[in-house]
Amino acid sequence: MSVQAFIGIGANLGDARANVLDAVERLRRQPGCELLAVSSLYRTAPIDSSGDDYINAVARIATTLDAESLLQALHGIELAHGRERPYRNAPRTLDLDLLLYGDEQIASATLTVPHPRMTQRAFVLAPLLEVAPEIIVPGLGPAAAFAASVADQAITRLA
């Protein structure tokens, strides 16, 4: 049985656009995952950090992997791009966040779903609402209800 999950994708080091597109391709080829949809790419300024602008997207997948296994697969894709975690919100070659995993709410030592800051970030909400306009964030309600609260965050949809 498969579960629908949403993955936030972002990068701001190196060729950020190429890194995001490669992550999408790696998700497409990931065993146990079927890529259902990918948002447009978006450019955003870093939040609580410094460095170049980010390129962001959201992927919608169906997966037979449990949430922890999916998280490990995402970390593997990040590592293939040389992801380092020197400090919180550090610039990154690639960042993959498990935003939603079905309608589950997960709070483990390694994973929190829904992603704890997803409703506070335009770079998550805009691409998420593009691929799933009616999506409900478990425990919080419709994702669209949070769009107005992030309207002041600069975000540009790329062609």
- Catalytic site residues? 83, 92, 95, 97
Tell me how far apart the alpha carbons of residues 90 and 49 are, in angstroms, rounded to a whole number.
7
Question: What residue has token string 């079905």?
Answer: 102
Phi, psi of 29 (to 5 degrees): -95, -5
Contact 132, 102 (CB under 8 A): no
Tell me how far apart the alpha carbons of residues 116 and 17 are, in angstroms, rounded to a whole number.
25
Phi, psi of 13 (to 5 degrees): -120, 150
Tell me how far apart the alpha carbons of residues 100 and 60 are, in angstroms, rounded to a whole number.
9
